[in-house]
Structure 1
């Protein structure tokens, strides 16, 4: 469980860094970007809290939320790529 805590804490810090960059240059991607960051933040916080409480189901639910966010982020990146290639 300590490995999960460390990984989730690192992800939470990375989300805070990503939020400093603002929104992506693609209007189509902005909503996906925001949704991914929200899900990454919530999921990593749930993971850390679950580990702290030795609550494996809560920890795993946080990890699943992070996994969903990865798919959302992939969609945002695809939209950004398409917009940049169109220019």
Structure 2
């Protein structure tokens, strides 16, 4: 029984840590996307590479995650930006916060 409790607590800690990281990642991506759209007059060509280069830099192991996330969610992120929603609200809508 003790082992089950320890495993459950460990699972909760991992889940909270992972969720926090995803939320922070998403909010930073939204901020960078907003900057990119302003600088490029609303054009999204090259946005994914721009954002991932700044977010993950030399951490190639999560570059794939970054690009997958942005390619799947970029339309929703842009819609949130157009609606003047803060990054935390945008990320809640895509279930990253």
Q: Could you say whether these structures have the same fold, taking a TM-score greater than 0.5 normalized by the shorter chain as the test?
A: no
Scaled to the shorter chain, the TM-score interval is 0.3 to 0.5
Question: Which structure has the greater CA radius of gyration?
Answer: 2
Q: Report the TM-score when normalising by structure 2.
A: 0.35
